[in-house]
Amino acid sequence: MDIGNHTLSTLFAQLGLDNEPTAIQTFIKEHRLPAAIELAQAPFWNQAQASFLQEAWRADSDWCDVIDELNTLLH
> Would residue 56 count as lying in a domain?
yes
- The CATH number linked to 21 is 1.10.10.1130
Q: 27: domain range?
A: 8-74
Q: With a cut of 90, say whether residue 1 has pLDDT above it.
A: no
pLDDT class for 3, splitting at 50, 70, 90?
low
pTM score, two decimals? 0.90
Banded model confidence at residue 5, pLDDT cuts 50, 70, 90? confident
Tell me if 3 is assigned to some domain: no
Cβ-contact 56, 6 below 8 angstroms: no
In a domain, 1, yes or no: no
User: 10 with 19: CB under 8 angstroms?
Assistant: yes
Please state, rounded to an integer, the average pLDDT across all residues of the chain.
Answer: 94
With respect to residue 2, please indicate whether it lies within any of the assigned structural domains. Answer: no
**Residue 57: inside a domain, yes or no?**
yes
Residue 20 falls inside a structural domain? yes
